[in-house]
Structure formats: C-alpha cells, structure tokens
Chains A and B, each alone.
Chain A
C-alpha cells in the first residue's frame, strides 16, 4: 500500500482513520484502516526524545561550553526577561538578535527550535486572551485608535506571549546544545539532591525503551479492536498502563540486580568532570549583562 500523505486527524481512534488513500494501480478510496506505526502519539514530540536529542551531538563552540555555564546563563537571561515589564520593541529586538546569534553559533536549525518552542503558545495564548479581562485600564494607546482598555489588554497579551516564547527558546537552546549525561552531571554539581538527579537520569535513559513497549502494546490493541471508543477504549488504555507498570516493575528489579552486580553502592558516579574556562566566564558575563540590560531598561 502506498498511502497519500495522511493527516491522522481523529485521536478517538488511535492509529485508525478514514483518510483517502490509494493502493498501487487502484483508484483512490477510503475506509477505516491503520498503519503499523502508532499515530496517536505524534502530537507529543516530548515522547520521542531521540530525534531532538541528536542535535546535542553537533560540534560547535556553544556545545563545547560547560553544561553548568549554559544552565546558569539561560536561567539568568530568563530571569531578566521575566522580571521586566512587557518587552518593549528594543528589548524584544535585542533578545531576538541574541538568540539568533547563539543559535547560529551553535549551528542549530532555527526553524526547528522556533516551531518547537512555539508549543508553549496554546496554553500561553489562552491565558493571554483571558488576561485583558483582568486589566481595568492602561494608559498605553495605539495612536488613539483604540480604547484605553483594549490598548492595555493588548500589551498584556503581548507581554505573556513574548516572554513565554523567548524563555522557552532559551531553554531549548540549552537542551539542544548539551548532551544528556553532561546536563545531569551539571545538575548534580549545582547541588541538586542526588535522589532527584537519579530519577532524572533514569527518565532520560529508559523513557525510550518503555515508550517503545507502550507503542507496541497500543499497536496490538488497535490491530485487534480498531474501533474501540469511549469507556471501552479508556478501560483498555488502563489495562495497557497496568500491564506496562508490572513489566516496568520487573524490569526495575532486573536493573537493580544488574547495577549491584556491577558495583552499585547507592550513589551514582558523575562521569563529567569539566572545569570552567575563560569562555564559560565570558558567556555567563554576557548572559548577565543582557539580562540586566533587559530588566533595567
């Protein structure tokens, strides 16, 4: 079968849809069908870290920086953005230029980072549209064309959307330019409790495996009962979750046994031992300066 590009529109039937498609040498037609791949999970890219994670293996000056530098730098910059009143044009341009320069230096695909960071917009947009309701006035007005109420509201909306988007972009720059192990080691060295870092490292390490198992369980469900709906669907999803829970529990026992047999004594070794160099100091100073410029202007 050679399907035309499908939009897997109906999340009610995971993997199953009625889009028009064409088999080799036959006219286009439509009927409920599904493909081998689990399509119900596509909107959640966070479930498939590997594709995005591959960006962290790019070679660039930004990638070479110490992970702690990047975490602290991004946090400082975000603090600057968050603490300032709604960004003025000059501030927004400064930020955009800074982030564009960083992205270029890091040799990362701008489009991908932009679209991925835009994932904050649905929720931010909802609140941004609600926010003007709470603003009972504002003295900002576009050339006297709009009422004071609308003017103040628009500024609030812009403030929420721009801050959310810029901040998300900052964090994605860190996530795309730092390998997972380095990031977790940096958190440990920034004094995040060890139990917590261990949970984080297990998530990054095993979510791919468990996600793959979940996908095959769902594919199996869809193959046997393609038109499940409503309560029956939810109950089956619950059974899948329970099944995966039992399997993961048993996997956890095996993992622990394997760790103990390799000398695990209750603490995770930190593999990265980099030192802060002049480039790191320069980078942090630049982040702090930009943050101050934005917060204080």
Chain B
C-alpha cells in the first residue's frame, strides 16, 4: 500500500502533503501538551516496536503473504494521537531509509496509513467498548477495528490513485479493497490476539489508553477529513473536464499555437517529441506547473511556519 513517487498527480499529492502535515503537526502539539517526557520516550520505543512487528508476516491466499501493519493496534493500546505520530514515524522511516513509498507521495501515505488507519481503528474500538466492556466485546472490537482500518486505509489509497486519474474508481477500489479485506483478516486476528494477551497479563496498560479523551477529537478529525474529502471531490469534479492541471495548461498553451500544433488527442503530452512549437509548449507548461507548485508549496510552508511561531510563543 506504500504509494511510490510518480504515481500521484500534483493535484493529489500536494493537498495530501499539506493536509497530513497539518494534522500531524497538530497531533505533535497535542502529544507534547498531553504527555510527560517519560511517556514520550515510551511512545518512541513503541514506534520501534510497531516497526519490528511489521516483520510478522502471515499467509494470505494463493501462496502470497501479507504483513502486520499495526495502525489499529497502536491506536488501541496508545490512544489516537500517539498512534498517529507513531505510525507517521514508521511510514516516514520506510520512505527515507528504505525507499518504501515515495517522498512526494509521503503525504498521501501518511494520510492513509498514519491518519485514516489509526482513526478508523480507534473509532471502531471505542464504539465497541461503549457497547460492552466484556472481554469478548473487546476482542471482537479489536478484530473489527484492525480489519476496518486495513480496508478503509486501502480504499483511501485507491481513491487517491483514482483522483490522480491513475485508474478507474471501480477497478482500483475493487483490487485494493478485496486484497486488503483478505489481509485484514490476518491483521484483525493478530490485533485481537495482542489485545487478548494484554487483557490477561497487563490490563492496566489498556486501561491507560482508555482514559484518553478522544471522543471529541475523533469527531473533530472526522469533520476535518470530511472537509478534505469534499474539497478533493470538488477539485476532481472540476479536474474531470481537464484531465490534469499540467495537461490543461499544455492544451491552453497549445491552442495559442493553433494551426501549428498536432495536438488532437485528450492526452496531448504523449505526442512524440521533436516538433519545435510543441517543445516550446512543453517548456511553457512546465514553467506554469513549477510556478503553481512553488506558490502552493510556499503557501503551505508559510502556514506551517506561522503555526510553529505560534507554538513557540505558547
């Protein structure tokens, strides 16, 4: 599920980067405010643990295997914000040191695996706990939390790929959803096993996480995600008539050279290179693209810097 570089279009990965960075920066602030130094050290060891536990692989189907991801497990035993940060660290280290998931795609990968996964896991688990606090309910709740987190995160990745025009929505959600519905069974069973072990051996650790106030937070994040989804959906609706920002620019620039261009197809940038005016059009489109990206990146960075300054003043 680690999306590599080059698969997402700028209209997807830039908003994903900004959104994920914002949510995680907020999470980092919450964690700093909420936890003592000792608990943060503990959280850091838990990040290493989740990374190590990803070595746990299990058979899925047809001789293939999946591996434990741990997002829901982290959300259950650590609480929502610590789990998001822990998963974000795991995903980031995979991108930085193992080229497992891209750098431009890191925002998208953080969104699916470090935000959506723990959020869904925590929400399902907390709901199950509210229904009943018995052992069976907790185990069933953890299974459902991990399965749901796995499947919903995969669907989120599929939607991001679709928003990038990478595949038809049906095909990509079916492929990702079905596959992760299978992997989710292993993920759920291991998570339930983990929670069952803790209930038997150290129930106090689970109780610690339960005491975290996240009902309000879960609601707040759900609203933020809803807004992001709405914006993404409307952007994609606008984009559907102009398949891609770059392509759109390309087409606009191309039409300025009417009579000289041979750009007829809906994907004009795939024309064999070599024609002078076309190269020129490409250069201009590239400049437009770089300027737009630069402005967006600058806006994002300024916003973050302002937030950091604010944080410093507190």
Contact = CB atoms under 8 A, between A and B. Distances in A.
A295 B37 contact: no
A37 B296 CA distance: 50
Contacts of B31: 195
Interface in A41-66: 41, 43-47, 49
A282 interface: no
Contact of B52 (A151, A200, A210, A242): A210
B90 to A, nearest CB: 7
B193 A235 contact: yes
Nearest to B31: A195
Interface of A: 9-12, 14, 40-41, 43-47, 49, 74-75, 78-79, 81-86, 88, 90, 116-117, 119-120, 123-124, 126-127, 130-131, 133-140, 148, 151-152, 155, 159-160, 162-164, 166-169, 171-172, 174-175, 180, 183, 191, 193, 195-196, 198-207, 209-211, 213-215, 231, 233-246, 248-249, 251-253, 255-256, 259-260, 264-266, 292, 295-297
B196 interface: yes
Contacts of A130: 166-168, 171-172, 175
Given A236-B193, A266-B40, A297-B286, 9 more contacts: A11-B64, A119-B100, A130-B167, A130-B168, A172-B99, A175-B96, A199-B43, A245-B197, A292-B290
Contacts of B228: none
Contacts of B283: 296-297
A168 B197 contact: no
B57 interface: yes
B167 A140 contact: no
Contacts of B238: none
A90 B286 CA distance: 17
26 contacts: A45-B98, A82-B6, A83-B286, A85-B270, A120-B2, A120-B100, A136-B266, A137-B267, A138-B267, A139-B262, A155-B270, A168-B5, A196-B89, A200-B93, A203-B89, A214-B56, A234-B58, A237-B189, A237-B193, A238-B190, A241-B53, A241-B193, A242-B198, A249-B42, A252-B41, A253-B42
Given A78-B5, A241-B190, A246-B201, A43 B53 contact: no
Interface stretch (B65-73, B121-129, B210-218, B229-237): B65-73
A241 B167 contact: no
Interface of B: 1-7, 10, 13, 24-25, 28, 31-32, 37-38, 40-49, 51-59, 63-65, 67-68, 73, 77, 85-86, 88-90, 92-100, 102-104, 161, 165-168, 171-172, 175, 186, 189-198, 201-202, 205, 246, 262-273, 279, 282-283, 286-287, 289-290, 293, 308
B178 to A, nearest CB: 12
Most B-side CB within 10 Å, residue of A10, A120, A206, A292: A120
Given A137-B267, A139-B263, A193-B28, A243 B58 contact: no
Contacts of A196: 24, 28, 85, 88-89, 92
Contacts of A86: 269-270
Contact of A171 (B48, B64, B103): B103
Contacts of A79: 104, 293
Contact of B197 (A127, A198, A242, A249): A242
A67 to B, nearest CB: 11
